[in-house]
Amino acid sequence: MGGSLLVLSIVVPIVGLLLAFAAGGRQAERIALATMPIGLAMAAAIAVTIRQAGGPLVYLLGAWAPPLGVALRADGPSAVMMAITAVVVCAIGIFARADFATPAGAAEARAPLAFWILLLAVWGALNTVFLGGDLFTLYVALELLTFAAVPLVSLDGRAETLRAALRYLLFALLGSVLYLAGTALLYGSWGTLDIVLLSRLVRAEPATIVAVALMTVGLLAKTALFPLHIWLPPAHAGAPAAGSAVLSALVVKGSFFIAVRLWFDVMPALPGPTAAQVIGALGAAAILFGSIVALRQERLKLLIAYSTLAQIGTLFLMFPLAYDAAATQLESGGALTGGMLQAVSHATAKAAMFMAAGLIYEALGHDRMAGLAGIARVLPIALVAFTLAGVALIGVPPSGAYVAKSLLLRAADGTAQWWWAVVIQAGGPLTSSYVLLVLAHALVPTRKPITPCAPVPRIREAAALSLALISLLLGLFPWRAYLPVSPEALSSPITLDALLSSLWSILVGGLIAILMGRCDIPLAGVPGGVISLADRARRAVFVVTSRVMRVDGALRQWPIAVLALLTVAICFGAAMLAAR
């Protein structure tokens, strides 16, 4: 019973996709929307079944057991990711109806058909990623995910989005070839690619280490971890709002999830302390770098895209924190739970943010930061959704990000790695700085009223708001049934201290925004002395952030990006060889 659910959860989106493709234009939307509740119900059923069974669900395809056959496996983390994917896909479906509808009487267009098919394809591919029990199945799932995600970027068919899509595709293909080379090496060494069988066999031999380094760096290229983010900003900012939400909330989580599988499930003992520190350092660099560049953006969608870059960095902090020096391996414990919770809350919050930004774009006809004044009066609910999503990401209790942060801090404390605690604590203020910058621009008092270009239906605002609320309340969910975490680590989520500390991080974030952000806001009623003092500080900081912007421009050059990728691969290989 449980096993067939796993097959169904892959088959249902794909059947929907095929039906939509065959039925065409007008029917595609209806079929996609009909598939969504079924998929959501199945994700919920899998979560419930896992909870009752108390262990992973396994389905052997054709009843052939590995190593000859291929297994589908659903454990706690896959159930969590599948459930959140289903929720986000449903919200995006509701949101996208206005953008990609084919009204009666209107001619059928290519973009709506493509969008609904691709949305179902992303969903099916993600479910395969979460369920695949074999490294080669995961490779195929990863490729399906990329092929479904790339056209979402260029749905509008403009030259710049086509360019962004092509860049994304080529860089992602480089990543997947490296992953494939890694699977060849692993199969050559151990004769199986099944995750469970490999985890029993694998030892730190040079060929295996090269394989893991190649696979890891391939996955990081697809996840766009700094400095491999060449494709992310133009792709995530150029796609239509619903597409951006899919790409930013869900697609990058697919390759992240496989990286987690590889490091935690296949070979927890192999990476060693140095490689874990390297991957964490890339994450820390991504947080700092992404936040600074986000603050300098002129356009709202680019700001959110760079904020995704920073949040991806946060996901990778769990790798060094999960390393247990006594057992010399990565432990699936509180740190892993923290990382997965961060992924889940980022998925919901970032989808809400991109939806709100899409509504703002639609109402104003642009998304320039300098022109956001007065939007609060036109789109109050969208702005509230954006703010709540931001608040959830900052880590205000009881959000999922807050629980994630406290779990990661606890792990940093337990493993005596204070430097990661500093990075985690810095994440809150940096996140709040760009959220506050957007709010400051949106809340500037303005005399001339805005007349929206197009009316925005309430249901679209509601879709964004509900995702933001889900992210904000994720901390209250009983995660212990699904994720490995000790009961005392998940203590009561709301304490006065926690609220005070998030208030503190918002205040610091405000200061950072004032120092580093683009300032197009007229300041009335502020004493001149304060302004001139702030101006002097801003000028000094401006020099630094301009350097960072130039580095970003350089890193997004193709040759430098590929060389950075090879360098990261060599670093991982060297670190793992040294740990042997």
Partner 1 sequence: MSATVFGLCGAVVAGFGLYGLITEPHPLRKILSFNLLGAGVFLFFGVVARRGAAAGFGGDPVPQALVITGMVVAFAATALAAALLLRLFSVAGTATLSDANTNSTGDDSTDP
The binding site for partner 1 (CB under 8 A) comprises 136, 139-140, 143, 147, 150-151, 154, 157-160, 162-167, 169-170, 173-174, 176-177, 180-181, 183-185, 187-188, 191, 233-234, 237, 293, 296-299, 302, 518-519, 535, 538-539, 542, 546, 549-550, 552-553, 556, 558-559, 562-563, 566
Q: Which of 412, 395, 403 has its CA nearest to residue 509?
A: 395
The distance of closest approach from Cβ of residue 455 to partner 1 in the complex, given in angstroms and rounded to an integer, is 30
List Cβ neighbours of 177 (8 Å cut-off, separation of 6 or more): 218
Residue with Cβ nearer partner 1 (56 or 67): 67
> Do 183 and 146 touch, CB atoms closer than 8 A?
no
Burial (CB < 10 A; 0-12, 13-18, 19+), residue 547, is exposed
Residue with Cβ nearer partner 1 (211 or 485): 211
Residue with Cβ nearer partner 1 (238 or 475): 238
Q: Cα dist. 137→71, 72, 176, 193, 297 in Å?
A: 9, 9, 13, 9, 39
The distance of closest approach from Cβ of residue 248 to partner 1 in the complex, given in angstroms and rounded to an integer, is 15
Residue with Cβ nearer partner 1 (308 or 399): 308
Long-range contacts of 28-35 (CB under 8 A, 24+ apart): 28/112, 28/113, 28/116, 28/117, 29/97, 29/100, 29/101, 29/102, 29/112, 29/116, 31/116, 32/93, 32/116, 32/117, 32/119, 32/120, 33/93, 33/97, 35/120
Residue with Cβ nearer partner 1 (141 or 389): 141
Place of tokens 């779990």: 407
The distance of closest approach from Cβ of residue 89 to partner 1 in the complex, given in angstroms and rounded to an integer, is 22
The distance of closest approach from Cβ of residue 189 to partner 1 in the complex, given in angstroms and rounded to an integer, is 9
Cα–Cα distance for residue pair 161/170, rounded to 1 Å: 14
Residue with Cβ nearer partner 1 (158 or 377): 158
The distance of closest approach from Cβ of residue 293 to partner 1 in the complex, given in angstroms and rounded to an integer, is 8
The distance of closest approach from Cβ of residue 265 to partner 1 in the complex, given in angstroms and rounded to an integer, is 20
The distance of closest approach from Cβ of residue 315 to partner 1 in the complex, given in angstroms and rounded to an integer, is 23
Distance of CA 514 to the CA centre of its chain: 27
Residue with Cβ nearer partner 1 (240 or 475): 240
Q: Cα dist. 382→84, 360, 361, 394, 461 in Å?
A: 21, 8, 11, 18, 5
Residue with Cβ nearer partner 1 (184 or 530): 184
User: Phi and psi of 314, rounded to 5°?
Assistant: -60, -35
The distance of closest approach from Cβ of residue 176 to partner 1 in the complex, given in angstroms and rounded to an integer, is 8
